[in-house]
């Protein structure tokens, strides 16, 4: 936690110093008031000096006013610093997560990353806020209180020797048990978020499979688990706080008891007894605040640890130190796989092995293969979502690992297998590819993607709202919008990962015809399950269990490739296949 605080509080040194000064002023004022009070009793009331009472009373009033002002400003600035700190940490986390590749995201899990950026930051931010408003003054009040108590009456101060260690003992015992529980609580909040996320994103599957009860139970379990631990922590503190109060009340009684003897024997003026009581109250109250802080600190420390874990994770896929920069004239439009092997992190077996082929400029290269044969994995290596474990993937003749990722990404238009839309409007989604695109260009892209008709029918046309994840358009419409989005970007290389699967056959063929007509110069890599989609490709790469088992045109493969023939004849009749 210290490291995190040191880094992210640095910009706030000036307001922090101000808060400290204000708190110091406040603490000194608090320590001064009982002394004035004692003066009024000892020198004013006892001696019947009205003038002294009024003068000292006015001073007390002034000190109180100053105190009030100081604490208002202290809280104001403390809050500003704490909130600013929280904002900075959140944006640092967000920035870091943006650099993560799939590997790191999967390592933490999206749910945990969300908790870390919200709840965990909140915990640390609360500690900072409490620290700046109460914690800093606690030690001043404790030490100052002890000094003032000693000045007021030394023998009576002996009581502190009993009370303070007793409190220390109780605090120590509580903390030893509470810290591990707080760690468990944060992990359990993660779990709840994870179940919640899965339920929300899989809501249709859950209903269709009549698993609503099952999911509700899963949530209940996670929720109960958190409940149990939280209850245990609260039970612990439920015992602690009355214990503290009891210690506090017993000490007051003891002060009155022994103090009365000393006043009676004339060893101590009565005003000092009042002052002493007030100091005792201040000291023990400060200790209680400190305890309250101790409830927050371990929790904050756990959260800070979880935040650091994310901030300290270096993405496995990074831009090279000195990337090769290519000009627009170098856009060869080629994608080459050179003896590529790929193994998912932690997996025993490679998913792809010995993949070599080139997608030439202006040509359509199709990739077919049974489900799970590694087609999407292969496509993901081109934009560096993952890096090949052996061999190399080259875009425009350069190893993608030697280029800046922005550069690689600007060269390709990816239409992922799971079409994803952002919340906003049709237009904002399409302009994701190119912010400066005109409405005409958007309509043009929609026309090629066969999306013009349905967008025209949507209320608002280009300005029609799209909800989160694109849930208010159909699967096929979503695919066409995500194709149009890539078209707006106008890259030299298109990667279609099964992007036509949700289209009916005639839309599919119209779309492909439009693509061929409009994007003659672009390189296209099309992954598909449907033979009809890829039959006319310039070159077809046949995949089976992570290997390339054949490359050629439809005719060539049909003649001599067993795997390809199997795929074809499972979908088409012999007559259709050779047509
Ligand atoms: N993130 C991942 N971690 C580990 N293994 C994975 C991961 N993603 C995919 N796999 C495995 O890699 C293999 C190939 O998956 P991939 O998604 O590339 O298949 P595909 O050919 O695109 O299939 P489909 O036609 O169904 O889309 C599968 O056996 C899958 O279990
Ligand atoms: Mg796939």
Q: Is the CB of 528 under 6 A from ligand 1?
A: no
**Residues 170-192: tens digit of each pLDDT:** 888 887 888 788 878 878 887 88
**Residues 298-325: tens digit of each pLDDT:** 778 888 988 999 999 998 888 888 888 8
Q: Is the CB of 155 under 6 A from ligand 1?
A: no
**Ligand 1 pocket test: which of 377, 526, 541, 563 has the largest number of ligand atoms within 8 Å of its C-beta?**
377
Q: Is the CB of 344 under 6 A from ligand 1?
A: yes
Which ligand sits nearest to residue 375's alpha carbon? 1
Query: Degrees (nearest 5) of the Cα angle 562, 563, 566?
Result: 85
Which ligand sits nearest to residue 351's alpha carbon? 1
Position of tokens 């060869």?
332
The candidate with the shortest Cα–Cα distance to 215, out of 203, 230, 224, is 203
**Residues 363-397: tens digit of each pLDDT:** 999 999 988 899 999 999 999 989 999 999 999 88
How far, in Å, from the CA of 510 to the mean position of ligand 1? 29
Q: Give yes or no for a contact between 392 and 341, defined as CB atoms under 8 angstroms apart.
A: no
Backbone angles phi, psi at 193, to 5 degrees: -60, -40
Question: Half-sphere exposure of residue 569, counting CA atoms within 13 Å on the CB side?
Answer: 10
How far, in Å, from the CA of 502 to the mean position of ligand 2? 13
The pLDDT value recorded for residue 103 is 86
Q: Which atom of ligand 1 is nearest to the CA of 369?
A: 21
Confidence of residue 526 (pLDDT cuts 50, 70, 90): very high
How far, in Å, from the CA of 372 to the mean position of ligand 2? 7
The pLDDT value recorded for residue 307 is 94
Mean per-residue pLDDT of the chain:
89
| pLDDT reading at 336 higher than 90 | yes
Alpha-carbon distance of 62 to 69, in angstroms, equals: 11
How far, in Å, from the CA of 346 to the mean position of ligand 2? 20
**Residues 197-242: tens digit of each pLDDT:** 788 777 777 777 878 888 889 899 999 999 999 999 889 888 888 8
The pLDDT value recorded for residue 206 is 75
> Which residues are 16's β-sheet partners?
none
**Residues 139-149: tens digit of each pLDDT:** 888 899 999 99
Task: Specify the 3-state DSSP secondary structure of 333.
Answer: coil
The radius of gyration of the chain's CA atoms, rounded to the nearest angstrom, is 36
Q: Between 183 and 527, where is the model more confident?
A: 527
Residues of the chain with pLDDT > 90, as a percent, come to 43
Which ligand sits nearest to residue 543's alpha carbon? 1
Question: Of the given ranges (16-20, 330-334, 563-567), which has the lowest mean pLDDT?
Answer: 330-334
The pLDDT value recorded for residue 468 is 84
**Residues 414-455: tens digit of each pLDDT:** 998 888 899 999 999 999 888 899 999 999 999 999 999 999
| pLDDT reading at 402 higher than 80 | yes
Kindly tell me the sign of the dihedral angle through the C-alpha atoms of 51, 53, 57, 60: positive
Q: Give yes or no for a contact between 53 and 40, defined as CB atoms under 8 angstroms apart.
A: yes
The pLDDT value recorded for residue 521 is 84
How far, in Å, from the CA of 523 to the mean position of ligand 2? 20
Helix (H) or strand (E) holding 359: strand 352-359
The pLDDT value recorded for residue 533 is 85
Q: Is the CB of 374 under 6 A from ligand 1?
A: yes
How far, in Å, from the CA of 385 to the mean position of ligand 1? 13
User: Which residues touch 211 (CB under 8 Å, ≥6 apart)?
Assistant: 205
Backbone angles phi, psi at 352, to 5 degrees: -120, 140
| pLDDT reading at 167 higher than 90 | no
Residues of the chain with pLDDT > 70, as a percent, come to 100
**Ligand 1 pocket test: which of 110, 344, 350, 381 has the largest number of ligand atoms within 8 Å of its C-beta?**
344
Question: Of the given ranges (77-81, 173-177, 342-346, 486-490), which has the lowest mean pLDDT?
Answer: 173-177
The pLDDT value recorded for residue 316 is 85
How far, in Å, from the CA of 545 to the mean position of ligand 2? 13
Q: Residue with the nearest Cα to atom 30 of ligand 1?
A: 372
Q: Is the CB of 347 under 6 A from ligand 1?
A: yes
Q: Between 264 and 194, where is the model more confident?
A: 264
**Ligand 1 pocket test: which of 337, 374, 419, 541 has the largest number of ligand atoms within 8 Å of its C-beta?**
374
Q: Is the CB of 165 under 6 A from ligand 1?
A: no
Q: What is the DSSP letter of 323?
A: P
Question: Which residues keep their CB under 5 angstroms from ion ligand 2?
Answer: 376, 417
User: Which residues touch 374 (CB under 8 Å, ≥6 apart)?
Assistant: 342, 351, 352, 543, 545, 546
User: Which residues touch 199 (CB under 8 Å, ≥6 apart)?
Assistant: 206, 215, 219
């Amino acid at each position: 936690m210290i490291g995190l605080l040191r880094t992210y509080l640095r910009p706030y040194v000036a307001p922090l110093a101000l808060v400290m000064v204000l708190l110091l002023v406040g603490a000194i004022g608090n320590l001064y008031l009982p002394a004035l009070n004692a003066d009024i009793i000892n020198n004013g009331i006892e001696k019947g000096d009205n003038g002294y009472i009024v003068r000292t009373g006015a001073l007390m009033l002034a000190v109180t006013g100053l105190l009030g002002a100081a604490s208002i400003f202290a809280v104001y600035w403390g809050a500003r610093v704490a909130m600013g700190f929280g904002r900075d940490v959140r944006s640092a986390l967000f920035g870091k997560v943006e650099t993560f590749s799939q590997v790191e995201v999967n390592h933490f899990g999206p749910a945990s990353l969300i908790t870390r950026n919200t709840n965990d930051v909140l915990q640390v931010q609360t500690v900072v806020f409490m620290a700046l408003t109460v914690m800093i003054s606690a030690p001043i009040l404790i030490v100052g209180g002890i000094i003032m108590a000693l000045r007021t009456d030394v023998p009576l101060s002996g009581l502190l020797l009993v009370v303070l260690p007793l409190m220390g003992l109780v605090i120590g015992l509580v903390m030893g048990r509470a810290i591990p529980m707080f760690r468990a609580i944060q992990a359990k909040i993660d779990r709840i978020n994870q179940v919640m996320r899965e339920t929300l994103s899989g809501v249709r599957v859950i209903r269709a499979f009549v698993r609503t009860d099952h999911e509700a139970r899963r949530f209940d379990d996670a929720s109960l688990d958190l409940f149990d631990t939280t209850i245990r922590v609260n039970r612990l503190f439920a015992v602690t706080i009355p214990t503290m109060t009891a210690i506090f009340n017993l000490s007051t009684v003891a002060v009155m008891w022994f103090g009365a003897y000393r006043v009676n024997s004339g060893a101590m003026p009565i005003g000092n007894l009042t002052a002493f009581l007030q100091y005792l109250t201040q000291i023990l109250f400060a200790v209680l605040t400190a305890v309250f802080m101790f409830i927050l600190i371990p929790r904050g420390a756990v959260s800070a640890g979880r935040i650091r874990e994310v901030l300290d994770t270096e993405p496995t896929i990074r831009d090279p130190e000195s990337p090769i920069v290519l000009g627009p004239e170098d856009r060869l439009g080629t994608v080459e796989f050179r003896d590529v092997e790929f193994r998912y992190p932690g997996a025993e077996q490679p998913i792809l092995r010995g993949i070599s082929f080139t997608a030439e400029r202006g040509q359509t290269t199709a990739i077919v293969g049974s489900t799970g044969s590694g087609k999407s994995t292969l496509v993901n290596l081109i934009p560096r979502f993952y890096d090949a474990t052996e061999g190399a993937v080259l875009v425009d003749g350069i190893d993608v690992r030697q280029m800046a990722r922005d550069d690689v990404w600007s060269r390709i238009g990816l239409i992922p297998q799971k079409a994803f839309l952002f919340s906003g409007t049709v237009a904002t989604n399409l302009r994701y590819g190119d912010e400066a695109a005109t409405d005409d260009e958007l309509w043009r892209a929609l026309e090629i993607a066969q999306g013009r008709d349905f967008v025209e029918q949507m209320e608002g046309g280009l300005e029609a709202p799209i909800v989160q994840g694109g849930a208010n358009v159909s699967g096929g419409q979503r695919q066409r919008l995500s194709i149009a989005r890539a078209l707006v970007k106008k890259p030299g290389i298109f990667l279609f990962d099964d992007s036509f699967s949700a289209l009916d056959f005639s839309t599919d063929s119209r779309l492909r015809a439009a693509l061929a007509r409009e994007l003659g110069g672009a390189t296209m890599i099309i992954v598909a399950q449907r033979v009809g989609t890829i039959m006319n490709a310039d070159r077809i790469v046949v995949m089976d269990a992570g290997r390339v088992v054949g490359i050629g045109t439809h005719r060539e493969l049909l003649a001599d490739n067993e795997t390809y023939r199997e795929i074809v004849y499972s979908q088409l009749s012999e007559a259709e296949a050779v047509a």
